[in-house]
Amino acid sequence: MSLALFEAKKPPVDPSTLKHRDLLSGDFWRQIPRYADVDEATFLDHRWQAKNTITNTKKLLEALQGLVNEAFLEDVSAGFKKAPMQVRISPYLMSLIDWSAPETDPLRIQFLPMASRFLPDHPKLGLDSLGEQADAPTPGLTHRYIDKALFLVIDTCPVYCRFCTRSYAVGSDTESVDKVSLKPTPDRWERALAYIASRPELEDIVISGGDVYQMRADWLSQLGHRLLDIDHIRRIRFATKGLAVMPQKILTDDEWFKAIVGVNDRARAEGKDVALHTHFNTAREITEHSQRALNRLHGAGLVVRNQSVLLRGVNDTFEKMGLLVKRLSYINAHPYYVYIHDLVQGGEEMRTTLQTAIDLEKQVRGITAGFNTPTFVVDAPGGGGKRDAHSFEAYDRASGISRFTAPSVKAGQSFFYFDPIDLLSEDAQARWRDPTEVKRMMASIEG
């Protein structure tokens, strides 16, 4: 059969539709003066990455000398004074930022605040917007869903995201936030494990924090096996941003890699399930090093799923989100969720509307297989849990208020999400400045 016949039925593909396969490679980190003489073996060493991670504003500004102008440095310095998260940025991540246009770079937006870009926090914002502490029977253990619990084992991460929903606890205190302590103490862990063992309805445990990348290998192994010792635990999910910001750990930290593989091997032998959940937000974060790390995990039988956050200027267009979904699929990190940005202190300019999420899901669905198509969700403020973006009970696009219910989580309650006020009409923005009008808008959406 001739090729012409096939082409008549389906036109040849536009090569640009395959750009998800074009992964950044080479010694791209040498663009940063500080890393200009770093060879590949050193750059791929997780210990070097961790040791050279920038953890304060002074070191960050020193590293950026010669890359950006003085006005930008002052803007970022002032931004950190207002932000709920401290500086923590790896050399790998520093090397992925486009320093010729940092103001609009999607990675800069996520990790380096510019004071000039800040918007006032939404008036309905709370520091623990998801109400995780209210659903915590022991410190750091949230039991909201019937058969699942979230275990926050540690309070540090390999990098600190500006939009972190756990800015109430992750990292050290900042000038704007005094943090709740979730340090990895034996007593706190034992109390959580005792609770999990006492609740036969629990089958699924998410291990997060902070970030499991920050756990010592023996801690990770011990905790994983302790959970597998509990007969009713059927599924364990380890959550980490690390693959997106420091794939070197998977490639060169053999002790840590063997620990998580050991837990996975035992789980499979016992008919249980282990997965690694990671967090890429833009295709720019996925490089040849990412693929190598994912290949190593895939070869060892570990399932990897990705959870993104919908961020204004980062992944809020079909072109950007579509490329992210396709590139994640290409490296075997299954796109799982896209979260509508939580109401987080100091992050208002990164939020977008619920309607944006609804539109994007319609556009993304169909570009790849269903199991590689993410679900767009609202993690309902106040503890309603994850709700499909389309499943609102009411959505007033003029006021930006949407109402959700969660019958299997907290029956009879309503949960409200709020679009950013600056994206509303001028009339709606004026109504939000009037407490009486705010009450009327809330009453209207409550029905």
Task: For residues 342 and 244, state if they share a domain.
Answer: yes
Tell whether 275 and 419 lie within a shared domain.
no
Position 333 in a domain: yes
Same domain, residue pair 217 and 262: yes
Is there a single domain that holds both residue 156 and residue 190? yes
What's the mean pLDDT when you consider all of the chain? Answer: 90
End position of a domain, from candidates 386, 406, 437: 386
Same domain, 104 and 164: no
pLDDT in the model for residue 157: 87
Same domain (yes/no): 370, 414: no
Q: Is residue 16 part of a domain?
A: no
Is 94 within a domain?
Answer: yes
Is beta strand 303-310 parallel, antiparallel or unpaired with respect to 273-278? parallel
Q: Please tell me whether residues 99 and 173 are part of one structural domain.
A: no
Q: Which helix (H) or strand (E) holds 219?
A: helix 217-228
User: Which residues have CB under 8 Å from 160's CB, separation 6+?
Assistant: 85, 86, 87, 88, 89, 111, 170, 171
19 pLDDT tier (thresholds 50, 70, 90): very high
**Range with the largest mean pLDDT of 143-147, 208-212, 306-310:** 306-310
Mean pLDDT of 181-202: 90
DSSP assignment string, 223-260: HHHHHHTSTT--EEEEE-SHHHH-THHHHH-HHHHHHH
Instruction: State yes or no: pLDDT of 128 exceeds 80.
Output: no
- CA-to-CA distance for 262 and 342, rounded, in angstroms? 34
Give the pLDDT of residue 166.
57
Give the range of the structural domain holding residue 47, as residue numbers without chain letter: 29-117
Residue where a domain terminates, one of 367, 386, 405: 386
Q: What is the pLDDT of residue 178?
A: 46
429 in a structural domain: yes
Cα–Cα distance list, 127 to 124, 131, 211, 271 (Å): 10, 9, 19, 39
Total domains present in the chain: 3
In terms of domains, do 235 and 158 share one?
A: yes
**pTM (global) more than 0.85:** yes
- Write the CATH number for 374: 3.20.20.70
Q: How far apart are CA 245 and CA 159, in angstroms?
A: 7
Strands 141-142 and 148-152: antiparallel
Give per-residue pLDDT as tens, 137-167. 998 899 999 999 999 999 888 888 888 775 5
Residue 19 domain-assigned (yes or no): no
Establish how many alpha carbons lie within 13 A of residue 392's alpha carbon, considering only the half-sphere containing its beta carbon. 25
Residues 74, 221, single domain; the answer is no
Q: How far apart are CA 124 and CA 380, in angstroms?
A: 13
Q: Do 152 and 258 share a domain, yes or no?
A: yes
Would you state the pLDDT for residue 60?
85
Is residue 346 within 8 Å of residue 177, measured between CB atoms?
no
DSSP string, 358-418: HHHHHHHTTSS-GGGSPEEEEEETTTTEEEEGGG-SEEETTTTEEEEE-TTTSTT-EEEEE
Query: Is residue 196 domain-shared with residue 55, that is, in the same domain?
Result: no
